[in-house]
Structure 1
């Protein structure tokens, strides 16, 4: 039987699925009082104290360095993979609808990487949406870092930046060996980016740019794995996801259009 660990990135007490595949991990635990029953992300080799910048990636880093398992994945305390229909979810408690071990194991035998359903921007590319809503210089600098450190990835970077959809939320499930390779590549780039990009004057919301850049880089990494024949496209499988909570769609859509038409930057999450 494979050892599967899906880390739940949490920053406050919350209900979590009662299954041995789910591990609730307190993100940024070095900066806060411990949450009883949750695993802290500040043991062993960790970047827990950098959580204000790296967000849920402090959990990813901790798992990469300290968590022994065969398969590793990341979900959020309010966002999970699910195989249940929306009609089913509405008639059940939310946690009853999350992906189960019985549903996951057959997929892991068939696929190498599980990802959330793509987010579509339609009237924006990955690059233009980021540049309109945040600071496009962050993506430009990321490309420069790739050109120096991983030039073979530049073509994939350009391809992804011109797409109008991508896998977001830093959610994934894959075997630990593959996840380790991804993390080694990802954090090397992000640590360099943090050193080279001045964060002076950024708000707390803006400071979280490494986590946003990583969402885009995950797509770059996947594209390169396919182009270099490490992964077959059919080995990457999209899984639906569910969100616990209410999204203010009116404000979200209005802000999206304001960013597109008037370059008005995002100032908070939706």
Structure 2
């Protein structure tokens, strides 16, 4: 079992067995801390990290961790846990992961509920609109079996976000094949290298809408867990930014922080 902890900098890491820090965008870093995995070994897209964000770790895992029974991805400051909070002692243990995956297909963070807007509008209010519509076209044209679930995802106020999940090898390969095939086609159709600021991370943002699309199309079972956040969230700032994106379309946009 390998649960990758995607990070772009040295950081406090858990001692729990099964968790391995991986430096995303290793090809672009001057130094890699001792003991950290690198996403530029073997088949990889490490150089695409500015555009794919933590997905470069998932891509590396897809082709370089094929002998693992269980594969997952969390973030250096976000983990799946037994209860919400800021304590690394509360992240899922190796034994709990194995036990829970004997009952369901995928372990996921609790769905984020946006209450006053659906997932489609949330994306469009926060990001450039073209990539979302291009991805919808790609799914409709190239992956029609997934299109109904994609539309339903967009209409829902809830979604599994953060690109965090834990699953067995077969499900991991199926999910990542779908996700990267979709994103690769979108990559051919948008001028992503011209994007600036946070919009550069376009494929990381788009992929958050693909987990539920895959999950519900393939009728996978799942369990949800609270998110252990190592850094405390400024909910006043987060709420203010959310309302600005929704009601003041021309204001500066701040998404993940």
TM-score when normalising by structure 1: 0.90
Partner SS state of residue 74, structure 2: strand
CA contact (8 A) 2:45 2:59 kept: yes
For 1:200 and 1:47, how far apart are their aligned partners in 2? 15
Q: CA deviation at 1:148?
A: 1.7
Range with bigger deviation, 104-113 or 61-70: 104-113
| Corresponding residue number in structure 2 for 1:157 | 150
| Corresponding residue number in structure 1 for 2:119 | 126
| Corresponding residue number in structure 2 for 1:190 | 183
Q: CA-to-partner distance for each residue in 1:217-237, whole Å, 9 max, x for gaps?
A: 1111111112xxxx3xxx211
2:64 to 52, 66, 69: 66
CA contact (8 A) 1:127 1:136 kept: no
Structure 2 portions without partners, runs of 5+? none
Q: CA deviation at 1:204?
A: 3.0
Are residue 251 (structure 1) and residue 244 (structure 2) matched?
Answer: no
Q: CA deviation at 1:149?
A: 1.0
Q: CA deviation at 1:262?
A: 1.8
Q: CA-to-partner distance for each residue in 1:26-59, whole Å, 9 max, x for gaps?
A: 1000100222110101000000010000010000
For 1:139 and 1:55, how far apart are their aligned partners in 2? 17
After superposition, the Cα gap between the structure-2 partners of 1:224 and 1:147, relative to the gap in structure 1 and judged at 3 Å, is: same
| Corresponding residue number in structure 1 for 2:40 | 42
CA contact (8 A) 1:134 1:265 kept: no
| Corresponding residue number in structure 2 for 1:214 | 207
CA contact (8 A) 2:241 2:254 kept: no
After superposition, the Cα gap between the structure-2 partners of 1:268 and 1:151, relative to the gap in structure 1 and judged at 3 Å, is: closer
User: Aligned-residue CA RMSD in angstroms?
Assistant: 1.4
For 1:204 and 1:66, how far apart are their aligned partners in 2? 30
1:117 to 104, 110, 113: 110
Q: CA deviation at 1:8?
A: 0.5
- Describe how 1:1-270 pairs up with structure 2 within 5 A: 4-32=1-29, 33-67=31-65, 68-84=67-83, 86=85, 94-199=87-192, 201-226=194-219, 231=220, 235-263=221-249, 264=251, 266-267=253-254, 269-270=256-257
Q: CA deviation at 1:250?
A: 1.7
Q: CA deviation at 1:215?
A: 0.5
Q: CA-to-partner distance for each residue in 1:222-266, whole Å, 9 max, x for gaps?
A: 11112xxxx3xxx21111111111222222111111111122352
CA contact (8 A) 1:27 1:55 kept: yes
Range with bigger deviation, 27-36 or 166-175: 27-36
Q: CA deviation at 1:192?
A: 1.4
Partner SS state of residue 184, structure 2: helix
Structure 1 portions without partners, runs of 5+? none
